[in-house]
Amino acid sequence: MAVYTRIPAEEMADIIAHFGVGELVSAKGIAEGVSNSNWLIETRGTGTSGRFILTVYEERTDVRDLPFFLNLLDHLAAAGCPVPRTIHDETGAPFRTIDTANGERKLALIEFLPGVSADDPTPEQAHAIGRALASVHLAGRDFSMTRKDGMGFEAWRGFVRDCAGRWSEIDPALEAVPAYVDSVIAAWPADLPQSTIHADLFPDNVLLVGDEVSGLIDFYFACTGAMAYDLAVTHAAWSFSADGRVQSHAIGDALIAGYRSVRELEPIEIAALPALAGAGSLRFLLTRAYDWLYTPADALVTKKDPMAFFRRHEFYRENGAAAFGLSA
């Protein structure tokens, strides 16, 4: 999440008026993340007061995918998963179009869910996150829409091209990344069980109340893909210190145990987890490297260190199955 597009106060009030959620009280820009512009919205009105997240979709989001993203939220919420509903406007549409200084943009209003993100998760919280992810995978199997992973192999190769000759501006160790990417793509496991996956379940995309998950948010990388890859990405996101230097087996093991308490992994998935976690680490390394090199200096966004995921990749490459402690 971030703020790239600026919306004047009077225009913001007019936008919110179309959703039937009351009168705009406040709109606070959210700086975390890197893809879209986001605000925390507060409204008031008879029977309609509340808090919402307003998202303006920037260039990285293909607006042709919005029906998939927004219908997915409604599908998962109806299945009992802890995800926010889409707020439809006065015409019943799940998103609207506005003109901005950056050009035409689409926007959507999403239900705000209570809870806080965990900076230092406990094993109990990790277990709950695993259960919640498995519930999404099970519910996603009968979602009628499909979407190709927008951050798949084609995108990886594009980021490698964009960063060519500039890896050392971040760290000389990243010169090894192009060869790693080629190796991962060549060795990608075939025939893994598929569903609709989140593909970006980082701590800032999970809300917790105590030890329970109150919300899974930011589904804008969701796609049709391998459930084990989603679990591996979540393992990489949750079981390491922020800088990627320290891995917690207690957190990683609890996450996987929670997942398996709802959906059992198939042997092929268990065998693939180390390779998938290394691949997921490269995927986030690549996007962080691109953003590190190309994010405008005046953008209200916190750039994230690509080396944190290079260290994760090296951990999985060096430890293999021992990183998970699982057997088929």
In whole numbers, what is the pLDDT of the chain averaged over residues? 92
pLDDT digits (tens, 9 = 90+) for 136-172: 999 999 999 999 999 999 999 999 999 999 999 999 9
What gap in Å lies between CA 112 and CA 53, rounded to an integer?
Answer: 6
Q: What angle do CA 260, 265, 267 make, to 5 degrees?
A: 145
pLDDT digits (tens, 9 = 90+) for 172-225: 999 999 999 999 999 999 899 999 999 999 999 999 999 999 999 989 899 999
Note the pTM of the prediction, 2 decimals. Answer: 0.88
What gap in Å lies between CA 87 and CA 74, rounded to an integer?
Answer: 10
Q: List domains and CATH numbers for the chain.
A: 9-111 (3.30.200.20), 123-323 (3.90.1200.10)
> DSSP alpha helices (H): ranges in the chain?
9-17, 66-78, 123-140, 153-163, 177-186, 227-238, 249-262, 267-294, 307-319
Q: Is the pLDDT of residue 2 over 70?
A: no
Residue 273: predicted pLDDT: 96
Q: Is the pLDDT of residue 33 over 60?
A: no
Residue 100: predicted pLDDT: 78
What gap in Å lies between CA 274 and CA 136, rounded to an integer?
Answer: 22
pLDDT digits (tens, 9 = 90+) for 258-285: 999 999 999 999 999 999 999 999 999 9
Residue 1: predicted pLDDT: 45
pLDDT category at 59 given cuts 50, 70, 90 is confident
